A and B are shown apart, each in its own frame.
Chain A
Amino acid sequence: AQSVSQHNHHVILSEAASLELGCNYSYGGTVNLFWYVQYPGQHLQLLLKYFSGDPLVKGIKGFEAEFIKSKFSFNLRKPSVQWSDTAEYFCAVNAASSASKIIFGSGTRLSIRP
């Protein structure tokens, strides 16, 4: 069965600090990977996705993520965070063989000190 682990439950950073949120998944086959963000009081929205090709994917608002197949990881990065990045971030995985079943991690709450 697929599973997703997000190791950091709550991360607190100052503005302009660099960010890296960890995500590991367990599934041996071909996967599609996602990062979603939920800003306070707003809907979940897609930050970025990896289906195939270049393992370094760029998303909205300056976020990027790198798929490392050998480590079963898909870490989210941003070189310089802003106060407006305060949100909850969810990593998600879909096994290519299971249509639209997407498994989410438990989320990482990011707090940015102004």
Chain B
Amino acid sequence: KAGVTQTPRYLIKTRGQQVTLSCSPISGHRSVSWYQQTPGQGLQFLFEYFSETQRNKGNFPGRFSGRQFSNSRSEMNVSTLELGDSALYLCASSLAGLAGVVNEQFFGPGTRLTVL
């Protein structure tokens, strides 16, 4: 079974630009979560999508948004990039179905975003 894939793997942008990151979950997984990983901060939860609906959201500004398609693939978008947005963005997929049922999350390799 193919793992979680994320594209692109590396991105360099300048302040004020916007960026779109893509995540393809493991086949059959309908839940996709996004995290921002920075040194010293660990992983911070951005949002989670299930069946094309945002089911959970972290404490990030509205510049961070996402969506999920009918094939469970997900994208996240960051608008008006700031220097502090430089980070590794991780996507994780799981079988999680009903609320309250937690399954193991499988992580992708991440997209390394550098904002200059």
CA distance A83 to B14 in the complex (A): 40
Q: Which residues 25-76 of B sit at the A interface, judged by CB distance below 8 A?
A: 31, 33, 35, 40-45, 48, 50, 55-56, 58
- Whether the Cβ atoms of A99 and B50 lie closer than 8 Å is yes
Cβ distance A86 to chain B, nearest Cβ, rounded Å? 17
- Whether the Cβ atoms of B96 and A90 lie closer than 8 Å is no
- Whether the Cβ atoms of A102 and B105 lie closer than 8 Å is yes
- Whether the Cβ atoms of B42 and A99 lie closer than 8 Å is no
Interface 9-mer from A12-20, A69-77, A103-111: A103-111
- Asked if B90 is at the interface (CB within 8 A of a chain A CB), the reply is yes
- Whether the Cβ atoms of B48 and A43 lie closer than 8 Å is no
Contacts of A92 in B (CB 8 A): 43
CA distance A103 to B44 in the complex (A): 7
CA distance A6 to B41 in the complex (A): 11
Q: Which residues 65-116 of B sit at the A interface, judged by CB distance below 8 A?
A: 90, 92, 94, 96, 99-105, 107-110
Q: A43-B109, A45-B107, A49-B104 are in contact. Are A102 and B40 (CB under 8 A)?
A: no
Interface size of B by CB at 8 A reads 31
Q: A100-B55, A106-B40 are in contact. Are A44 and B45 (CB under 8 A)?
A: no
- Asked if B3 is at the interface (CB within 8 A of a chain A CB), the reply is yes
Q: A100-B94, A101-B45 are in contact. Are A43 and B56 (CB under 8 A)?
A: no
Cβ distance A49 to chain B, nearest Cβ, rounded Å? 7
CA distance A102 to B90 in the complex (A): 13
- Would you give the 0/1 interface string for A47-88, flagging 1 where the beta carbon is closer than 8 Å to chain B? 001010000000000000000000000000000000000000
Nearest-CB residue, chain B, relative to A106:
B42
The one of A9, A43, A46, A100 in contact with B96, judged by C-beta atoms closer than 8 angstroms, is A100
Kindly list 5 other residue pairs between chains A and B, CB separation below 8 angstroms, not including A32-B102, A99-B96, A107-B43. A44-B107, A100-B31, A102-B105, A104-B45, A106-B42
